[in-house]
A = this chain, B = another copy of it.
Amino acid sequence: MIPQNQWYVAAYGREITTGELFGRTVCGESILFWRTGAGEVTAMSDRCVHRRFPLSQAPTRLEGDRVICGYHGFTYGPDGVCVAVPGQTRVPRTARLRPYPVVEQDSFVWVFIGDPGLADPTRIPRAPWLASPDYTTVSGMEPLAARFELLVDNLLDLSHETYLHGGYIGTPEVAGTPITTQVDDEAGVVHVSRRMADAECPPFYSRSTGLTGRISRWQDIEYTPPCLYLLHSRIAPVGSEPRPDGTDPDAFHVEVVYAITPETEHSTHDFWAVARDFAPGDEEVSAFLAEQNRTVVLQDVAALDVLERVIAAEPEGYQELSINIDTGGLAARRMLARLGAATPSTAAV
């Protein structure tokens, strides 16, 4: 079940440009975006009020800050209010596209799904590295033909790196090292931590950092259901620790960010970003990390697409078996279930 009354990442800011219509389905709702002449991102229902033509689709077009439906010419302003209809001068008062609260932050365009009166922009979780001058970031989005819960499971249990991503980011120590899990119900965050004191350095990190020997590798996950997943990754020579003053000059820090946005009940927008505090502006390192991370994401996509089909074909009441590595994923599921239960059954759609 997709939690309502939540903020979700709909797009990167760069995907929405002035003068172009952009449609994306978020949580089963078809939303039209465009960037006004003033640079603001708008979000409104992507269905003309007249005969439901998708406004993101040609021959619908923008004229300045007005969108003109390609079927019969109904015309809307950036607030979704209809300002012209064909064949008559009077515009019906109810002719208005549903507007969505929208916030552009940390390179993402966030949209609020649910009752707009409950939209509090201060509750949007942050990923400040993605727009910080101190970090160099590569990012992308892959479509996933699987329910978002499968991606949450996947990301909360990184022991799969050893098997599914061997040769890229997985080494034997990931699956072999126990985790610690902390659930902060007040903040609505699940923390999962795995500290490998003496581990092989996988190609993802050795080629980007230049470290050739064994490493200390920390994976600190911070998941704010439903949408934002952060992996604070610290890579350093074995034995190196952060200093008492908080600085950490011998380590390499990578902030891996995922935004997990349901497209429908059974498909997901898998946004991924890799921000690093080293080799700033080094194009070769950027290209390498982008290609590697995309490959890793596509390995996940292939596996999760299979699992979605497996679930669709299996009998009701199939039982999974969980072990210690699943503590974080199970905590995330419980938190998602609570968010889902809080969803009114008569959710506006």
Q: Which residues of A contact B (CB under 8 A)?
A: 28, 30, 47, 49-54, 57, 59, 68-73, 85-88, 92, 94-95, 153, 157, 159-160, 162-164, 166, 175-179, 303, 306-307, 310-311, 313-315, 318, 320-325, 349
Chain A facing B: main interface SS: loop
- In angstroms, Cα B236 to Cα A218, docked, is 80
Q: Compute how far the CA of A157 lies from the CA of B85 in the bound complex, rounded to whole angstroms.
A: 13
Give every chain B residue within 8 A of A303 (Cβ-Cβ). 53, 70-71
A246→B138 CA distance, assembly (Å): 74
A306, B54: Cβ atoms closer than 8 Å: yes
Residue of chain B at shortest CB distance from A329:
B51
A52 touches B162 (CB 8 A): no
Residue numbers in B under 8 Å from A59 (CB-CB): 163-164, 166
Q: How many copies altogether? A: 3
Cβ–Cβ < 8 Å partners of A175 in chain B? 72-73, 86-87
Min C-beta distance of A5 to chain B, whole Å = 17
**Given A51-B307, A306-B57, residue A87 in contact with residue B321 (CB < 8 A):** no
CA distance A157 to B88 in the complex (A): 14
Q: A92-B321, A310-B54, A323-B85 are in contact. Are A70 and B178 (CB under 8 A)?
A: no
CA distance A322 to B48 in the complex (A): 11
Q: Are B321 and A53 in contact (CB under 8 A)?
A: no
- Docked complex Cα distance between A59 and B167 (Å): 12
Contact of A87 with B47 in the complex, beta carbons under 8 Å: no
Task: Give Cα A164 to B133, complex, Å.
Answer: 46
- Residue contact B325 to A159, C-beta cutoff 8 Å: no
Can you give 15 A-B contacts (C-beta < 8 A)?
Answer: A28-B313, A49-B321, A52-B307, A52-B310, A52-B311, A57-B306, A70-B164, A71-B160, A71-B163, A71-B303, A72-B159, A73-B162, A73-B175, A88-B325, A315-B349
Q: Which of B28, B52, B86 contacts A176 (CB 8 A)?
A: B86
Determine if B52 and A314 form an interchain contact, defined as CB atoms under 8 angstroms apart.
Answer: yes
Neighbouring B residues of A166 by C-beta, 8 Å = 59
Whole-angstrom CA separation of A306 from B56 in the bound complex: 12
CA distance A70 to B299 in the complex (A): 11
